[in-house]
Structure 1
Amino acid sequence: MITNAGPWVNDIPCGSIFDRAQQLTFESARARQEYPWAERFIMGLPLAPWQRKFEWTEEQSRRFITSAWTGVHLGNYVLTELELEVGPASSGAAGAAGAAEADGVEYAYLSNCVIEGQQRLTSLELYVTNRLSVPDNTGVPTLWAEVLARDRRRFENTIFSCGTVRDRDEQRLRSLYDLMNFSGTPHAESDRATWHDAEVLDPQGEAPRPG
């Protein structure tokens, strides 16, 4: 049976995601301590064990980052609720997040893990760690480190909504993952709303209209 406990959606600025990534992605020992059950992390967040590998091409990642720069709605990424396994007493996600500053904190199995959004979160990490260049407004490929501070602040204020599922039952989460990722119909190339191939233009330079 599919869980009906979410996801609850909050609007999260990209800058907040970057802060989390800087705390954990570059301190792997801390991440392993907090999530000993996790094998892979992205932007400081553990991935659900059944998540596929990163599949996007560099071009797909660039398009996503370009979308963020232009203000296009980025959709949602979905996490499970944060819950402590051992450590200082806390209640709720806020308490768990605060307690995480103490030593010896360990989060429960499947707590705070990515259920949906791995490809987009990975693209963000590649960008902010200077492993992906994205064309600027003049078309020049630019790394994050080369972006002016004022423009970085603008990007960091871009909203990337986060949905939270208040359920950590593995079978229900696996069912939810399948529902979110296998219920749609992939677009074909012919479904594009724009025409790119000059050969399809008629002699007057206008694209033929679909029948």
Structure 2
Amino acid sequence: MTTIFQRYADDETSDLSIQMPQRTLATTISHYPIDVLASNLEKYLVDPSSAHDQHPWAARFIMGMPVPRWARGLEWNVGQKSRFISAVWSGADLGSYLSNEWCDSSGARSSLDENSEILIDGQQRLHSLEEYFLDRLAVPDTQGQPRIWSELGNGERKRFLSTIFANARVSSGDEVALRKTYDLCAMGVMSRSMDQRAVR
């Protein structure tokens, strides 16, 4: 093992036959405020049956987004959810959530093809937001008093909703590629156990 670091190898010492893994699907990232997610939840709550009609194959909906059957279940406890919401209030880096834009436009049907518009990664964090917005989760204020969303004034709500939560997006109808992408999302952070993986 060498202790010398070189950003690039000398041509004569590099092995051109070595190739490292590549991304399965191309990703686009947009830096949206949480308000975009909140608006999506509002729209879903007004007419949940419409979302269910469009995505009859979804296991569940989180913030109005369909979650595929092959995604793991909701795992976070109340403490983890509360810590995430506190992180939003504190201005921490929230990372990104990953969704799939793909849908089949080849026909005029009421339901979209399976895996269209799905939430691939980030459901624990988005579910925490949903629980908070629906007053099912309280987080401490600056005095340590637990507070629910409906108690807050518009100034504090606007501050929270303006927080950036990046949306990484792929566009694919290939379920195998989507499952591989899902499995890779947590690698290096907290690997999914075999029973939580989409590709087995």
1:191 counterpart residue number = none
1:165 counterpart residue number = 170
Q: What is the total number of aligned residue pairs between the two structures? A: 170
Matches within 5 A, 1:116-195: 116-181=121-186, 183-184=187-188, 186=190
Match of 2:61 among 41, 44, 52: 41
Q: Deviation string for 1:69-92 (max 9, x for gaps)? A: 1111100000001425543xxxxx
1:11 counterpart residue number = 31
2:198 counterpart residue number = none
Amino acid at match of 2:156: D
Distance in 1 between residues matched to 2:25 and 2:181, nearest whole Å: 11
- Specify the SS of the correspondent of 2:97: strand
Distance in 2 between residues matched to 1:185 and 1:106, nearest whole Å: 35
- Report if the CA contact (8 A) 2:97-2:166 is conserved: yes
2:77 counterpart residue number = 57
TM-score (normalised: structure 2): 0.79
Amino acid at match of 1:180: C
Amino acid at match of 2:95: G
Distance in 1 between residues matched to 2:36 and 2:68, nearest whole Å: 21
1:75 counterpart residue number = 95
Ranges in structure 2 where 5+ consecutive residues have no aligned partner:
1-20, 192-200
Ranges in structure 1 where 5+ consecutive residues have no aligned partner:
88-103, 188-211
TM-score (normalised: structure 1): 0.75
- Report if the CA contact (8 A) 1:2-1:176 is conserved: no
Give the 3 Å change call, closer, same or farther, for CA 131–166 of structure 1 in structure 2.
Answer: same
With 169-178 and 23-32 compared, the bigger mean Cα shift is at 23-32
1:114 counterpart residue number = 119
